[in-house]
Chains A and B, each alone.
Chain A
Amino acid sequence: MRTLLGLVLILGVGCGVAACDRQDAKPYPHAILTPEPAREVPAVALVTGDGKPAPRDLLTGHWTWLYFGFANCPDVCPLALEYAAREHAKLRHKDRVKVVFVSVDPARDRSPKLARFVSFYDPAFVGVTGERAAIDQLAKAVGATYVIDPPAKPGGDYTVSHTNLVFVLDPTGKWVASYVPGATPGAMTADFDRLTQEKH
């Protein structure tokens, strides 16, 4: 009887760490996309709006929700940031997930305005931008694209087209999943509560 119980326990544990993980092919059930395998994201030099170098551990040592946008964006980016703020606020382990907003519009956002815009949605959110090459390298790694739309009048106001997805990087800095902001309320909270519970 004891042997049988032991066997059940061994099988049970074995399932918990290996077999069940394989069964559970979707570790991010609400993600719209999960790259297989997870993709390396290059360490690029980014700066905050006021020109200070972004911390080296900006994208590692914690989960990152990464978004590409621009601070003059009145509808799409605020919706995404509000969604991220709501999901983040409900997380069981908020400190394990950092939200990083990358402005693809350094011409206008290399300014204290960037931090004001991003922190408006949550004071813990980080806004960064950088040289075009650095932004492009980072965007390319996760499959994000953007285009600075030509202004209607020369020198006039312009808008920016960009991928409207939240990219998730794991604590090693690899891109592991993408989410559609706002698609399902509670989706990111649910997935991350599960992840941080399982992986500590």
Chain B
Amino acid sequence: MSRTTRFAALLAMAGTLMAAPALAVTGPAWTMVRTEDAWVREAPPSAAAMAGYMIVVNPSKETLTLVGATSPQFGEVQMHEIVTEQGMTRMQEVKQLVVPPKGRLAFAPGSTHLMLMAPKQPLKAGDPVEIVLRWSPKGKTTVKTSVRPRNAPAASPAAGGHDHH
């Protein structure tokens, strides 16, 4: 090992040591995640699937990877993106989504959204929905939201909040 590389290795180690106390203060990056404007689109009572939307904000300096979601009100939650090819619009499941450092990820109508499948019971406007985002390699963000009536102005923020596990 040349002197230069040894020095670089030392520097890297020092970097790790210096980073450690910072982590202890703030916790893992996923604990800093917050969500905005979460809502679930009202659907007919017979709907087999509903769509969930929110903006996921990553204030940390790390890239965060979302690997799925669950909801106690639904049998299954998938992440879907909307792809338009040759004039056809298609929903396509995505297994993971990245939230860049200091960036955000939008689940929005007509775009990437959470597909809430197999409702355990029919949901109507105002009913609470909890959505748990799962991070890789570990971590969860719980988002408390509700079903928004379809005639509500799109700009009105849904009742929302979040906490961490």
A75, B91: Cβ atoms closer than 8 Å: yes
User: Given known contacts A74-B115, A75-B82, A76-B82, is B150 in contact with A82 (CB within 8 Å)?
Assistant: yes
User: Given known contacts A79-B110, A182-B110, is B88 in contact with A120 (CB within 8 Å)?
Assistant: no
User: Given known contacts A159-B91, A163-B89, is B109 in contact with A75 (CB within 8 Å)?
Assistant: yes
A172 on interface, CB distance cutoff 8 Å: no
Q: Which of A72, A121, A143, A159 contacts B150 (CB 8 A)?
A: A121
Q: Which residue of B lies closest to A165 (CB)?
A: B87
B15 on interface, CB distance cutoff 8 Å: no
B43, A74: Cβ atoms closer than 8 Å: yes
What total of chain A residues lie within 8 Å of the partner, measured CB to CB?
28
B144 on interface, CB distance cutoff 8 Å: no
Note all chain B residues with C-beta closer than 8 A to A147.
88, 90
User: Given known contacts A76-B82, A113-B46, A116-B44, is B150 in contact with A152 (CB within 8 Å)?
Assistant: no
Quick one: CB contact mask for A56-98 with B, threshold 8 Å, 1 for yes? 0000000000000001111110110010000000000000000
A161, B88: Cβ atoms closer than 8 Å: yes
In the assembled complex, 16 residue pairs joining A and B whose CB atoms fall closer than 8 Å, in A order, are A71-B46, A74-B51, A74-B113, A74-B116, A75-B82, A75-B115, A76-B91, A113-B46, A116-B45, A117-B47, A120-B44, A121-B150, A145-B86, A145-B87, A149-B90, A165-B87
Residues of B within 8 A of A (CB): 41, 43-51, 80, 82, 84, 86-91, 93, 109-110, 113, 115-117, 150
Residues of A within 8 A of B (CB): 71-76, 78-79, 82, 113, 116-117, 120-121, 143, 145-147, 149, 152, 157, 159, 161-165, 182
Q: Which 8 A-B pairs have the closest CB atoms?
A: A161-B90, A164-B89, A120-B44, A74-B51, A74-B49, A75-B51, A113-B46, A161-B88
